[in-house]
């Protein structure tokens, strides 16, 4: 009978992962060479991966058939990567077995059925303010409306709305960012209307530009927008409307007198007798940058104090 010599370099001594008996139901730190049964019935489980060296393997099994609703998320160690990205990855495939293998410091951990994890991001998006109109025949006009405001930071968003939920963004994905410009001012001409503010956008979050002010002799209403422009005179078409959950309407003029203030993210524009006249609606104080700043205040009446477009000031026709 012929004999075959077997050498150690062609024998696979691996017995597979060292499966752990305890079922993981909460966040945990993984160890090289081990296998884990993960139960996400009660919520997402985050796994912190160890520092990897080439050839290291770790395995994870969907114990409860819930990876599609409550994810398992993987966080790399320090500056190491997952599939070439220094950020978290998740598995959203039900009943799957995730096998991670460490390739090298360029690619890091790689595996099946994983994709970039969503990041929970707070946002503040403010549109451009509406322009103001110069006074036709020396008569003051209404102020421009503030740009619409939406935020997930703090407790209050625009138009009296509660702060929105944060949004989920995926690493390695491009998102549209647009900063809306202020609307141009209207010249000193009968019936002219200032420009509306531009729309701002961050991913799926958009805000509407503020309404532009209209010269007093027009019978039409002031411009609507994120917040509306103030009424120019008591005989014209009234103030501009705001946008729900973004800003308020401009102020109304109830008796003969100068124009009202534009609406702001925090309140309606207003009008009162001399010397107050048109005052822009309040902005909202937000500290998302680390410092408290008032955003999206309405413009005061043109040719008054304070004058100008939404969120701006000038002695004549004013841009937002």
More confident residue, 33 or 305: 33
Strand 18-19, strand 97-102: pairing: unpaired
Local structure of 136: helix, strand or coil: helix
Answer whether 134's CB lies under 8 Å from 90's CB: no
The phi and psi torsions of 141 (rounded to 5 degrees) equal: -115, 175
Query: What pLDDT is stored for residue 139 in this prediction?
Result: 60
Write the pLDDT tens digit of every residue in 243-298.
999 999 999 988 776 788 899 999 998 887 766 678 889 999 999 999 999 999 99
- Rounded to an integer, what distance in angstroms lies between the CA atom of residue 17 and that of residue 148? 55
Within 10 A of 253 (CB to CB), how many other CB atoms are there? 25
- Rounded to an integer, what distance in angstroms lies between the CA atom of residue 113 and that of residue 122? 28
- Rounded to an integer, what distance in angstroms lies between the CA atom of residue 237 and that of residue 232? 9
Structure tokens at 266: 């925090």
Write the pLDDT tens digit of every residue in 177-193.
999 999 887 766 556 78
pLDDT for residue 237 is more than 50: yes
pLDDT for residue 29 is more than 90: yes
The mean per-residue pLDDT over the stretch 6-23 comes to 70
Quick one: CA dihedral 142, 147, 152, 153, positive or negative? negative
- Rounded to an integer, what distance in angstroms lies between the CA atom of residue 299 and that of residue 95? 58
Out of 3.10.20.30, 2.60.120.640, 3.30.380.10, 2.40.110.10, the CATH code matching 23-116 is 2.60.120.640
- Rounded to an integer, what distance in angstroms lies between the CA atom of residue 249 and that of residue 238? 10
Query: What pLDDT is stored for residue 8 in this prediction?
Result: 46
Within 10 A of 285 (CB to CB), how many other CB atoms are there? 12
Domain extent listing, the chain = 23-116, 119-320
Mean pLDDT of the chain: 85
Query: What pTM was estimated for this model as a whole?
Result: 0.68
- Rounded to an integer, what distance in angstroms lies between the CA atom of residue 251 and that of residue 260? 5
């Amino acid at each position: 009978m012929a004999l075959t010599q077997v050498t150690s370099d062609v024998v696979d001594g691996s017995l597979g992962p060292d499966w752990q008996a305890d079922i993981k139901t909460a966040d945990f730190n993984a160890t090289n060479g081990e296998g884990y049964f993960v139960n996400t019935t009660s919520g997402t489980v985050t796994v912190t991966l160890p520092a990897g060296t080439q050839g290291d393997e770790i395995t994870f099994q969907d114990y409860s058939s819930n990876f599609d609703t409550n994810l398992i998320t993987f966080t790399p160690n320090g500056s190491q990567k997952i599939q070439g990205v220094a950020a978290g990855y998740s598995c959203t495939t039900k009943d799957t077995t995730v096998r991670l293998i460490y390739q090298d410091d360029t690619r890091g951990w790689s595996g099946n059925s994983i994709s970039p994890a969503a990041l929970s991001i707070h946002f503040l998006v403010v549109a451009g303010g509406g322009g103001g109109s110069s006074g036709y025949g020396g008569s003051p006009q209404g102020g421009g409306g503030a740009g619409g405001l939406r935020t997930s930071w703090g407790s209050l968003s625009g138009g009296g709305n509660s702060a929105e939920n944060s949004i989920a963004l995926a690493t390695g994905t491009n998102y549209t960012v647009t900063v809306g410009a202020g609307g141009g001012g209207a010249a000193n001409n009968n019936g002219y209307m200032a420009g509306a503010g531009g729309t701002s956008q961050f991913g799926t979050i958009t805000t509407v530009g503020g309404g532009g002010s209209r010269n007093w002799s027009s019978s039409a209403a002031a411009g609507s927008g994120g917040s509306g422009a103030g009424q120019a005179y008591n005989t014209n078409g009234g103030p501009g409307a705001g946008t729900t959950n973004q800003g308020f309407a401009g102020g109304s003029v109830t008796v003969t007198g100068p124009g009202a203030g534009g609406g702001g993210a925090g309140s309606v524009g207003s009008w009162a007798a001399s010397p107050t006249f048109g005052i822009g609606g309040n902005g909202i104080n937000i500290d998302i940058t680390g410092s408290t700043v008032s955003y999206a205040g309405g413009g005061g009446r043109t040719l008054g104090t304070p004058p100008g477009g939404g969120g701006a000031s000038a002695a004549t026709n004013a841009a937002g």
